[in-house]
């Protein structure tokens, strides 16, 4: 058996993926153990799942932090190690023509909430941070403080669509409303963009004429519960390697891409 990895989890809702990972750790399908479950949402019912298994939990209430910063902007105090120019240079969430005030507020308010998250996580050393239905975008402030080495990303996410199609918060509905005949889910490492990091695994299902948003969400979630444990076990076995690939394009140029090799 491999040495067990320590897994931290962030959730926002019901936590069915969290449950699948807890069960997989307990059954030995994943060589790992969950060391904490954090949330941005005080009402996340998935916290109960963690408590039922004796896992430490914490909440950083993003909504109330953002509301209070909006109400009293003079009280905005970013973390001491916050460097907004560094974040502007790294982020790819906003385009160059986005409202600068909006971008600034996003970066500052996120860093304030993320510094609290990092503080709550600090007592629990971890090897992998998994996002399991965590509905807040992480800024470079947080990502750089978790990913210490560029070629060893350690924040994983599960997304309800076949990326790079349909990034964002409502992947299955977006897939359905587009009229796709196939839908699916993706596990990937997080980078500075929206659902744009290197892909680890994907599973797909057929969309039939009598499907609805509800039925495709059900089909998708059932695949997520298989895919996420498989990808986490690959990480636990040290089988995920980031490689830089160069691909020729039609017009004779080259594009560089960071991808995951399963070794
Ligand atoms: C899952 O479908 C997951 O793919 C999605 O939220 C749901 C969480 O369900 N995640 C995202 O949309 C992330 N942007 P769960 O709380 O039952 O695991």
**pLDDT (tens digit per residue) in 214-257:** 999 999 999 999 999 999 999 999 999 999 999 999 999 999 99
pLDDT at position 87 over 70: yes
Distances, alpha carbon 74 to alpha carbons 69, 71, 79, in Å = 8, 9, 15
Which ligand 1 atom lies nearest to the CA of residue 168?
Answer: 14
In the residue annotation, 2 being an active-site residue is answered as no
Domain 5-262 belongs to what topology?
Answer: Rossmann fold (3.40.50)
Shortest-distance atom of ligand 1 to CA 17: 18
User: Quick check: helix, strand or coil at residue 189?
Assistant: strand
Length of the chain: 263
Centre of ligand 1 to C-alpha 188, Å, is 13
pTM, 2 dp: 0.96
The confidence score (pLDDT) of residue 100 equals 87
| Phi, psi dihedrals of residue 173, rounded to the nearest 5° | -65, -40
The residues spanned by each domain of the chain are: 5-262
Structure tokens at 84: 């907004």
CB of 14 within 6 A of ligand 1: the answer is: yes
Q: Which of 2, 53, 152, 159 is catalytic?
A: 159
16 CB under 6 A from ligand 1? yes
What is the position in ligand 1's atom list of the atom closest to the CA of 224?
4
Smallest CA-to-CA distance from 235 within 94, 130, 112, 96 is with 130
Q: Please work out whether the CB of residue 159 comes within 6 Å of at least one atom of ligand 1.
A: yes
């Amino acid at each position: 058996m491999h040495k067990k990895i320590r897994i931290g989890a962030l959730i926002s809702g019901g936590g069915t993926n969290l449950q699948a990972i807890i069960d997989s750790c307990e059954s030995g399908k994943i060589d790992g153990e969950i060391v904490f479950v954090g949330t941005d949402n005080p009402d996340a019912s998935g916290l109960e799942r963690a408590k039922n298994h004796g896992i430490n939990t914490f909440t950083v209430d993003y909504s109330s932090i953002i509301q209070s910063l909006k109400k009293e902007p003079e009280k905005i105090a970013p973390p001491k190690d916050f460097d907004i120019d560094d974040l502007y240079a790294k982020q790819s969430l906003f385009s160059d023509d986005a409202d600068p005030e909006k971008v600034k507020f996003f970066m500052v308010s996120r860093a304030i909430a993320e510094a609290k998250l990092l503080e709550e996580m600090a007592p629990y050393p971890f090897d992998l941070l998994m996002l399991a239905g965590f509905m807040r975008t992480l800024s470079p402030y947080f990502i750089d403080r978790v990913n210490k080495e560029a070629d060893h990303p350690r924040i994983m996410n599960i997304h309800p669509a076949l990326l790079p199609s349909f990034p964002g918060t409502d992947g299955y509905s977006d897939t359905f409303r587009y009229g796709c005949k196939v839908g699916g889910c993706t596990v990937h490492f997080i980078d500075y963009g929206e659902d744009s990091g290197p892909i680890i695994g994907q599973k797909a299902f057929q969309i039939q004429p009598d499907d609805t948003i509800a039925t495709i969400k059900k089909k998708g979630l059932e695949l997520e519960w298989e895919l996420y444990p498989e990808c986490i076990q690959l990480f636990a076995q040290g089988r995920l390697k980031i490689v830089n690939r160069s691909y020729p394009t039609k017009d004779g140029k080259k594009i560089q891409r960071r991808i995951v090799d399963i070794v």
